[in-house]
């Protein structure tokens, strides 16, 4: 009778071990992965394939699919005692230029099948110093197979193209890039990580270089060229007072204030400073809108439109005291009012 609790405990312990083993296997399977040491390669480079999270000693099957060439290649690699493998290499050839690879792995024991993607492109375009993507135009010759096709187009940084080795790559970065309504970024420099650039390029492009067999990175550098740092503020004055609008900007070389009386904005002649003074506007000018075009070396920005409000000004009228003798002639009635300095009062 004393042995029954012991047997029950051993049975529960055995079930617990089975549960832990299954749970460990499931965790290992869920964490299994496969990858390459880079996301993009150039012809002549070698991709190194690694994996982790597999069952110790598991024979992992790999399938590499070249989407453009529509070619499947198969490999087998043995996971070590910790479920990892590395050192499997794959040569990237010129025929792979422009290729998108899909790497799939499958573990017959773990049952896990992760997937990994990488590409073969040899020219990468980047931008720096600007918070938005930059649209780069390009012209290059496509890689084998075939004799090569001239490809033109645009891409938003960062992006990679695949150009035939030893052929010219022509490209243009925009010299200015508006960001919102208050800032224009200007191109300050263009660099290549290896080799040199020629400017101007051919076919109307700003730059060119001869594509070698290795990967190249082109980077466009940008900085703020023109920026409105303080917008004009709406003005509200009483009749007889002056109104002043102003704008602050960095990189500005000229200003042009504009007026909208209800039919659209037109330039105000002679209003070419950062400040616009409206002397004693009338009540009829209430509701007029003002804005300013700010011009710099890389373009023009237009400020926000703001309104002028002119409210009527109170006038105090006081009748002059008069006397009259009964039966006499009525005196002329006169009065005084303030303020006296109003437009068109007398």
Per-residue model confidence as pLDDT tens digits over 51-68: 999 999 999 999 999 987
pLDDT at residue 212 is higher than 80 = no
pLDDT at position 220: 98
pLDDT at residue 181 is higher than 80 = yes
Q: What is the dihedral of CA 115, 164, 161, 67, to 10 degrees?
A: -30
**Lookup: tokens for 164:** 């035939």
- Mean pLDDT over 285-309 rounds to 97
Say what percent of the chain tops pLDDT 90: 64
Higher pLDDT, 99 or 242: 242
pLDDT at position 328: 81
Region of poorest pLDDT, from 12-21, 117-126, 152-161, 240-249: 12-21
pLDDT at position 316: 79
Map residue 160 onto helix, strand or coil. Answer: strand
**Lookup: tokens for 121:** 């492109």
- Mean pLDDT over 323-335 rounds to 84
- Mean pLDDT over 234-252 rounds to 96
Contacts of 181 (CB under 8 A, 6+ apart): 228, 301, 302, 304
Contact 118, 103 (CB under 8 A): yes
Confidence of residue 10 (pLDDT cuts 50, 70, 90): low
pLDDT at position 3: 46
pLDDT at position 7: 47
pLDDT at residue 27 is higher than 50 = no
pLDDT at residue 338 is higher than 80 = no
Phi, psi of 214 (to 5 degrees): -95, 170
pLDDT at residue 25 is higher than 70 = no
pLDDT at residue 21 is higher than 50 = no
pLDDT at residue 194 is higher than 50 = yes
pLDDT at residue 48 is higher than 90 = yes
Running DSSP on this structure, what letter comes out for residue 305?
P
Q: What is the mean pLDDT of the chain?
A: 87
Running DSSP on this structure, what letter comes out for residue 203?
T
pLDDT at residue 314 is higher than 90 = no
Taken in order of first residue, the domains within the chain and their CATH numbers are: 32-120 (2.60.40.1930), 123-225 (no CATH), 229-311 (2.60.40.10)
pLDDT at position 149: 85
pLDDT at residue 23 is higher than 70 = no
Please state, in angstroms and rounded to a whole number, the distance separating the CA atoms of residues 221 and 186: 8
Strand pairing category for 159-161 and 123-128:
antiparallel
Say what percent of the chain tops pLDDT 70: 86
Map residue 25 onto helix, strand or coil. Answer: helix
Map residue 265 onto helix, strand or coil. Answer: strand
């Amino acid at each position: 009778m004393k042995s029954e609790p012991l047997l029950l405990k051993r049975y529960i312990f055995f079930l617990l071990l089975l549960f832990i083993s299954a749970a460990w296997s499931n965790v290992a399977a869920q964490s299994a992965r496969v990858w390459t040491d880079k996301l993009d390669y150039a012809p002549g480079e070698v991709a190194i394939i690694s994996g982790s999270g597999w069952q110790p000693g598991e024979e992992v099957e790999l399938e590499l699919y070249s989407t453009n060439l529509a070619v499947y290649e198969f490999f087998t690699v043995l996971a070590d005692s910790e479920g990892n493998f590395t050192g499997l290499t794959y040569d990237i050839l010129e025929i792979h230029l422009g290729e998108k690879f899909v790497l799939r792995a499958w573990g017959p024991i773990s049952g896990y099948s992760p997937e990994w993607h990488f590409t073969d492109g040899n020219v990468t375009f980047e931008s720096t110093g600007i918070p938005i993507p930059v649209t780069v135009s390009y012209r290059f010759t496509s890689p084998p197979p075939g004799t090569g096709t001239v490809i033109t187009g645009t891409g938003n940084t960062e992006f990679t193209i695949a150009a035939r080795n030893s052929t010219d790559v022509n490209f243009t970065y925009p010299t200015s890039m508006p960001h919102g309504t208050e800032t224009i970024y200007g191109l300050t420099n263009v660099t290549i990580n290896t080799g040199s650039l020629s400017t101007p390029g051919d076919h109307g492009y700003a730059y060119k270089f001869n594509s070698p067999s290795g990967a190249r990175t082109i980077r466009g550098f940008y900085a703020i060229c023109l920026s409105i740092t303080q917008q004009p503020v709406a003005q509200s004055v009483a009749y007889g007072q002056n109104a002043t609008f102003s704008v602050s900007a960095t990189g500005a070389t000229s200003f042009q204030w504009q007026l909208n009386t209800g039919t659209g904005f037109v330039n105000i002649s002679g209003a070419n400073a950062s400040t616009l003074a409206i002397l004693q506007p009338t009540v009829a000018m209430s509701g007029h809108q003002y804005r300013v075009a700010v011009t710099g070396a890389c373009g023009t920005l237009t400020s926000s439109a703001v309104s002028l409000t002119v409210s009527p000004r109170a006038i105090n009228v006081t009748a002059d005291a008069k006397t009259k003798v009964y039966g006499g002639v009525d005196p002329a009635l006169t009065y005084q009012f303030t303020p006296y300095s109003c437009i068109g009062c007398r």
